Amino acid sequence: LYSALSSLGRLWARRGATVLTVLVMGLALALPLLLSLAVDNLRGFGGALTDSREIAAFLRVDADATAVARTAQALRALPDVAAVEVRDPAAGLDELRRLEGFGEALELVGDNPLPSVLVVAPADDADAARIGALATSVATIDGVDFVQYDLVWRQRLDAALALATRVVWVAGILLALGALLVVGNTIRLDVAARAEEIAVVQLLGGTDGFVRRPFLYAGAWYGLLAAVVAVTGAWLAFAALAGPVARLADSYGASHALLGPGLATSAAVLAAGIVL
């Protein structure tokens, strides 16, 4: 306890240099944290825009309720189908009216021109190949006029997000090494400045652990303070971006709240700072 508090007191005694070191390390921790949170929010934003596993089967405009029910039953009988949701023309028109820029245009349309739509949800364990085969089978069902299938777009988005995640890991490792060099050099200079004190302690019987302990605590304080700076900076950045992101999501007809660092993420960053 004495070593922990005395090392903190030494950092406070030269607080100008301490602040600079903490800010450099905090920036090194904040950048991968912000990149990681940005990737997570992009993944959530993509999911809010569309669930591309679903297959939308548009029926003929003149299909009556009996034909719609018959086609839905035929779709439920296909393999790899988990559920089939029926959306009538009125529901489709209401959904389209809520989208940005469509409300006034739909007022000019007389009768509802939309067909009934059957939304096919594939089985949870169905992979891309099986979903593609299912989409082909749906298109062959009697009464289906057109099939909308967006899995290719989703695969490209997932590939881009996987690449971004890998970039975050590479950047995080490089910046963590930079933080290690900063704190390592700082502690090394502190050791050199206290060389005579260390020699006296060793002559008086101080063990290597006794000599090393204050410097280890100093490194832990640097890491903890830098992690606090990183988490605080991330929260401030996300607070500044929350409004514009919400407006952007609303323009796409989606509802997406920007997710900042949660309790678990903040605790992980604090632990990582101390370990570094």
For the chain, give the mean pLDDT: 82
Kindly report, residue by residue over 256-275, the tens digit of the pLDDT: 677 778 888 899 999 988 98
Residue 104 has pLDDT above 90, yes or no: no
What is the pLDDT confidence band of residue 152, given thresholds at 50, 70 and 90?
Answer: low
Q: What is the pLDDT of residues 2-17, one digit of tens each?
A: 888 888 888 888 888 8
Residue 256's pLDDT is 64
Which residue bears the tokens 């190949």?
129
> How far is C-alpha 136 from the geometric centre of its chain's CA atoms?
33
Q: Is pTM beyond 0.85 here?
A: no
In sequence order, the β-bridge partners of residue 149 are: 55
Per-residue pLDDT, averaged over 179-183, amounts to: 85
Q: How far apart are CA 195 and CA 101, in angstroms?
A: 72
Are 102 and 92 in contact, with CB atoms under 8 Å apart?
A: no
Could you please report the per-residue DSSP string of 133-147? HHHHHHHTSTTEEEE
Sign for the pseudo-dihedral over CA of 71, 76, 81, 87: positive
The more confidently predicted of residues 164 and 107 is 164
Sign of CA dihedral 74, 77, 78, 82: positive
Average pLDDT rounded to a whole number, residues 25-38:
88
Interval 33-73: pLDDT, tens? 888 888 887 776 655 554 557 888 888 877 888 888 888 88
8 Å CB contact between 144 and 58 = yes
Q: What is the pLDDT of residue 230?
A: 92
